[in-house]
Amino acid sequence: AQSVAQPEDQVNVAEGNPLTVKCTYSVSGNPYLFWYVQYPNRGLQFLLKYITGDNLVKGSYGFEAEFNKSQTSFHLKKPSALVSDSALYFCAVRDWGLNAGNMLTFGGGTRLMVKP
């Protein structure tokens, strides 16, 4: 079985400061990892993904994420937060080998609040 944990329900950060949104995962095989963002009254939008290769992946809106296999983590980061980054963030995982339905498992979500 695959699972995702986002240990923080909410992260508060001041505009201009760096931000981190945490994610840990569990899969049987090799993971596909994803971050999505949801703005109010909208669907989820893709931010970035890790499949193989460089452990630091860059995505939309200046976000990046670091894959750490030994810690089974995939934390989302941004060097300088903007008020407009305030939204709900979801981490998701898919197991390469055992997932005939191509299904992603999502974490519970972390609300990011960036204050001016």
Partner 1 sequence: DAGITQSPRHKVTETGTPVTLRCHQTENHRYMYWYRQDPGHGLRLIHYSYGVKDTDKGEVSDGYSVSRSKTEDFLLTLESATSSQTSVYFCAISESGGGYTFGSGTRLTVV
Q: How far apart are the first and last CA of the chain?
A: 41
Which CB, 54 or 70, lies closer to partner 1? Answer: 54
Other CB atoms within a 10 A radius of the CB of residue 21 amount to: 25
Which CB, 61 or 80, lies closer to partner 1? Answer: 61
**Which pairs count as long-range contacts for 51-56, CB under 8 Å and 24+ apart, including other chains?**
none
Binder among 21, 25, 32, 57 for partner 1 (CB under 8 A): 32
- Tell me: does residue 104 bind partner 1 (CB under 8 A): yes
List of residues contacting partner 1 (CB under 8 A) = 32, 34, 36, 41-46, 49, 51, 90, 92, 100-104, 106-109
